Amino acid sequence: MFYLTVGATGFVSVLFYDLAQMRGRRGAAAAFSIIGYGCILASIVFLISNVRPANTPFTLLLLKILVAAAFLVLLIYSVLFEIPRLLRRSRSSKRAGRQVVAEGFYGVVRHPGFLWFALLWVSIALIYLNPMVTAVAIGLVVLDLLLVIVEDTLVFPRIFAGYDQYKRRVPFLIPRLRRR
């Protein structure tokens, strides 16, 4: 399973990115981040370019693709735009250290990127209806879940001031219907 191996390499690199951040090694963190997210993206691109979508009516296929595209946009926004914006805002305040900011999607759930990633893979699996695509989807979503568990329990409490209070206020993966 080439696609799963490339994706797994990406998740291991993202874990090394987190560890480099914990140790304050910005250069290594940047390199591992690029490698990690690049491998994850490459596994998706390689897979969808080498497998044919299921034979479904055009309008249904188009709807599935639009749903997948929406989850991809939400994933990109949450990881590449919302996190840096929130971190810049927390640094601009006069508080010491990197602060947790519970705004936007990160005020609803601690790991919205995981939700968007999982829903993106569900959408891709429904587009292709292929056992190999489904197996890769399950494998990468499980790897992402393991990564966010490690981040939530070991990495983020050491990187972000106030993370324990944030954990008490904001749910891990399943958003609440009402805020506390």
pLDDT recorded at residue 10: 96
pLDDT per residue as tens digits for the range 26-59: 899 999 999 999 999 999 999 999 999 989 899 9
**Global pTM?**
0.88
Record the tokens describing residue 15, joined without a space.
């874990």
Q: How many CA atoms lie within 13 A of 161 on its CB side?
A: 8
Mean pLDDT of the chain, nearest integer: 89
DSSP label of 180: -
Distance, CA of 127 to CA of 65 (rounded, Å): 7
pLDDT recorded at residue 89: 57
pLDDT per residue as tens digits for the range 91-102: 555 555 577 777
Got the DSSP string for 113-151?
Answer: HHHHHHHHHHHHHHHH--HHHHHHHHHHHHHHHHHHHHI
